[in-house]
Amino acid sequence: MLSPEIPSDEALRQQALDDNELLDTPADPYLDTLVRVVREVFAVKTVLVSLIDHDRQWFKARIGLEADATPRAISFCGHAILGTQALIVEDTHNDPRFNDNPLVLNNPNIRFYAGHPLFSAENQALGTLCLIDPQPQKLTAKQQSLFIDMAALVEGYLKLRNDSEQTVQLRAALSREQRKAMLDPLTQLWNRAGLNHFLPRHQQQADDLDLQLGVLFCDLDYFKKINDSHGHAAGDQVLWETARRISAAVRPQDVVTRSGGEEFVVLLQVHDQQELLQIAERIRSAMSNTPLDIDGLHIKLTISIGATLRTAQDAPNDALKRADQALYQAKGNGRNRVEFAN
């Protein structure tokens, strides 16, 4: 196996990656949508937006792979960032650089790889958009051109994101080590510690903007049946897809967290109860209207939601408790519904 070389300007490259505040951040609905479309277009099992860190490659967006990172020393993308054009390996078994790579010999059993480097505004390679499949493949000239275009979309979005107000706020609010401790590796959402961190800040922002803090407590219905019938691996995929659907149903400024198990909590700044319930209904519909495709299984799943608005008299966790009570009311009233607690 040939480990990737370290670029001669590695210090500058790593600094550009760190400055972009992409590592160890929550999943992005736009990138999640893009990798899903790319997978359909190229008919491969896995598509990744991979970022090359000091000693790992970390996946900002992924579909078709459960792991959120792999060691840099065995990464294909570590090789891809050394050039300016796409690195295409049609069959790893015929390539001495990769034929004995652990990612070839073991899961995910890579036979085909294509990775296009993604560059920062300073022209430093941050990572790649890559295609992976367990079967050998050959891209046509048209497919290669389309792959370049898809990579340009990802790269352009990352540059826009770097200049966004959200990224500026993230830089000011949390260090990278803090983010690592607050990120759920399975769903790539903020975890319970993240919820506790953002709750008082969201409350203060709502007050400053003369808005109300809304809380949505979301819980998958009959999730235990998924684990019992299809196994915990399928259950993990259901949680991952649920996180994607909830994030896509809310707004960019809303904070989506996985508080534990199959429970998700969303913090929102809204004008009134009607606006809060409209967003809650979007989440409920996103889950119930379309079955989840899990390894070829079409799993129909619903979600129950408890909603509330923080009042001026509330202690810090009162709104969370009230939304949780509303969730249990939704469960008791038949599930697959939204209940509001005054």
DSSP E strand stretches across the chain: 46-52, 56-63, 69-71, 87-89, 112-119, 125-133, 212-220, 255-260, 263-270, 292-294, 297-299, 303-309, 338-341
Which letter, b or e, does each residue of 2-24 get, where b requires 16 or more Cβ atoms within 10 Å of its Cβ? eebeebeeeeebbebbeebbbbb
Specify which residues 49 forms β-bridges with: 61, 129
Distance of alpha carbon 205 from alpha carbon 314, whole angstroms: 16
118 secondary structure, DSSP code = E
Judge whether 122 counts as a catalytic residue.
no
C-alpha to C-alpha distance for 187 and 61, rounded to whole angstroms = 11
| Set 262, 263, 275, 281: catalytic member | 262
CB 292 within 8 A of CB 298: yes
In Å, the largest CA–CA distance within the chain is 68
Catalytic residues: 262
